[in-house]
Each structure stands twice: as C-alpha cells, then as structure tokens.
C-alpha cells in the first residue's frame, strides 16, 4: 500500500437512517474497501440490517468509535445524513465524503452508481479538501447554560407550537442591532446559505467567504432585511416575555426556549473537512441544483 493510500487505512461507512436503499451501495463500497486492504467500520444504526461481505472483517461501531479510529468517513444518503455525520465527527477531525441517495444533494458529490470508482481515485489522493465553518450555539437561562449545540447549516430561532409571531432582541459583539417581531431568525453559515436561508430570501454565500448570514423569517417590519456578518461575529438573541420559541440546529436537534432566555451563537472552533472529486465545481453544483441556465419549458 502506498503512502498516499495508507493515509486512509481505516474507513467508516455511514448510511441514511431508517432507509433500506442504502444497503446495496454500502455493501458494494464495503467489499471494495476490504478488497483494497482497508479496515472497515460501519456506524451502528447503519449496520443492523446490512448483508455485508466478509462480515468478520467489518466492525459495527458507534460514532464515538468512528471519531477516534477512522481516517475517513463515507456517508451514503442525502444532505441530512451528512449533516448528522458532520456534527458527530467534526469534533474529531474526521474528513467526510458524500454519496448521494437523497434528493438535492448539495453536500453529497458522488453518485451511487460510480461510487467505487470515485473512491478508488480518492484513495489514490486525487480528491481535494475543503473546510466548511460550523456554528456553536448555547442557550443561557438565569445565568446558566441549559443547552449546547453544533450546526453545519444553520441555527434557527423559530416560533414554537403557539403558531404566532415572537419578539426578540439581537446584539452583535455586545452592540444592540434591533428588536424584531417575526416568525423567527435564521443564523446561517455559507454552507447553510443554500438551505433554509435560501427559501427565506437570504443571500447565497460562497463557502470560501468567512461570513454568517442573519435572515429574518416573515418579519412584521418589511425593512428587516438579511445581513451578512463577519465570521468573527458573536450573536446574542434574547427572547422577550411572554413568548416561547424553539431553537433548531440544522433542523435536526431542537431545544425549547423560554422568555428571557438568551441564544448565543458564534463560529465554532470545529470545521467540517469535506472531500470533493477533482471535477467538483461549486458553481456547476449551483447550476445543477438550482436549475440556473435551464431552458424555459414550452407550453
């Protein structure tokens, strides 16, 4: 095994949760990796129903074990699966590469049909590496931290089950910015700028730009517009009484926020190391996923 190849000697496979259609591609990738002499780890929620080849040479393990032992994680699923994997594995510095079995696939570059061929190229060192910034969030209540989270896409403060607007104040780097009455506020990374924030008319931010976007959700004041902040910005959002709300990390983890709680958001010291094939282009991805330059349909 060459020095380039041996860089990824232990490789983890993570599959889309509760979906049977990842079984075949993961089995194929596992067989391919075993044939090349790699140690294969499979995330425990993925490995339960898989018919893996050479099962005695495959270990079904937790995310924590993957973080401690894996040199690389291959994620088979959609962006949601990769978001979960990023939050679990970024603190360990494990790089990720995505095989798309979802819908849009902004973060999952490889197709299942050609995954083994692409992985061979990766093991030969042909892929490029890109660092994606993440956000730390904590909720403070009466001077105590009651919730901590990590997000790759976004942190969203949103009205809860009451179904009515909430009121909150925003400070950035200890400076008052505004009080707002709206359905909530999206705090998005460049990666998340093409997710929920995009549907709320937020800006698309190139991943090479170190910025954080604040995007209001259905603000009561039409002049409350999206704004892009420096990556060093520290954002504090205080929920006013008598409102209650909910904070979401990547739309997957959530915590109920009470009146007078403060939601504190800043750039995390953790980054996602995302691997791309040589032909990857951010702008080509946008053209495909957002259907830019698509010819109008005839009626």
Instruction: Report all structural domains of the chain as residue ranges with CATH numbers, in order of start.
Output: 5-127+277-289 (3.40.50.10330), 134-269 (2.60.200.30)
CA distance 71 to 95: 7
Structure-block tokens of residue 268:
């995390």
pLDDT computed for residue 1 by the predictor: 42
pLDDT computed for residue 18 by the predictor: 57
Structure-block tokens of residue 184:
């909530």
pLDDT computed for residue 54 by the predictor: 62
Q: CB-based contacts of 90: which residues, under 8 Å, 6+ apart?
A: 134, 150, 152, 268, 270, 271, 272, 273
pLDDT computed for residue 70 by the predictor: 97
pLDDT computed for residue 4 by the predictor: 46
Average of per-residue pLDDT across 9-35: 85
Q: What is the pLDDT of residues 121-139, one digit of tens each?
A: 999 999 999 999 999 999 9
Average of per-residue pLDDT across 132-149: 97
Question: Is residue 296 over pLDDT 90?
Answer: no
Tell me if the pTM is above 0.75: yes
The 10 Å Cβ neighbour count of residue 146 is 14
Average of per-residue pLDDT across 194-220: 95
Q: What is the pLDDT of residues 13-23, one digit of tens each?
A: 998 765 667 78
DSSP string, 90-124: GGGT--EEEEE-SSS-SS--EEGGGHHHHHHHHHT
Question: Is residue 273 over pLDDT 90?
Answer: yes
Distances (CA, A) of 41 to 187, 190, 237: 34, 31, 41
Please say whether the beta carbons of 70 and 95 come within 8 A.
Answer: no
3-state helix, strand, coil in the chain (%, to 5): 25, 40, 35
Residue with tokens 């006013």: 240
Where in the sequence numbering do the catalytic residues fall? 79
């Amino acid at each position: 095994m060459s020095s380039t190849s041996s860089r990824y000697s232990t490789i983890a496979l993570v599959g889309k949760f509760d979906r049977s259609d990842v079984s075949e591609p993961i089995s194929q990738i596992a067989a391919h990796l075993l044939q090349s002499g790699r140690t294969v780890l499979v995330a425990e929620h993925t490995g339960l129903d898989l018919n893996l080849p050479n099962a005695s040479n495959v270990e079904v393990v937790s995310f924590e074990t993957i973080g401690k032992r894996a040199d690389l994680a291959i994620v088979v699923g959609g962006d949601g699966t990769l978001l979960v994997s990023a939050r679990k594995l970024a603190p360990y510095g494990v790089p990720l590469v995505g095989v798309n079995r979802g819908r849009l696939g902004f973060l999952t570059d490889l197709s299942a049909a050609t995954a083994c061929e692409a992985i061979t190229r990766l093991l030969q060192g042909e892929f490029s590496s890109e660092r994606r910034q993440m956000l730390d969030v904590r909720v403070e209540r009466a001077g105590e931290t009651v919730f901590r989270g990590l997000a790759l896409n976004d942190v969203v403060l949103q009205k809860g089950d009451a179904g009515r607007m909430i009121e909150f104040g925003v400070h950035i780097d200890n400076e008052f910015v505004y009080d707002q009455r709206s359905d909530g506020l999206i705090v998005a990374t460049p990666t998340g700028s093409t997710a929920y924030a995009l549907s709320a008319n937020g800006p698309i931010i190139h991943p090479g730009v170190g910025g954080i976007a604040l995007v209001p959700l259905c603000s009561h004041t039409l002049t409350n517009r999206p704004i892009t902040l420096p990556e060093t910005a520290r954002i504090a959002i205080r929920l006013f009484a008598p409102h209650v709300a909910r904070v979401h990390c990547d739309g997957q983890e959530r915590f109920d926020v009470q009146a007078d709680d403060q939601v504190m958001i800043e750039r995390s010291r953790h980054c996602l190391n995302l691997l791309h094939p040589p032909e990857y282009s951010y702008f080509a991805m946008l053209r495909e996923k957002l259907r830019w330059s698509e010819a109008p349909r005839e009626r």
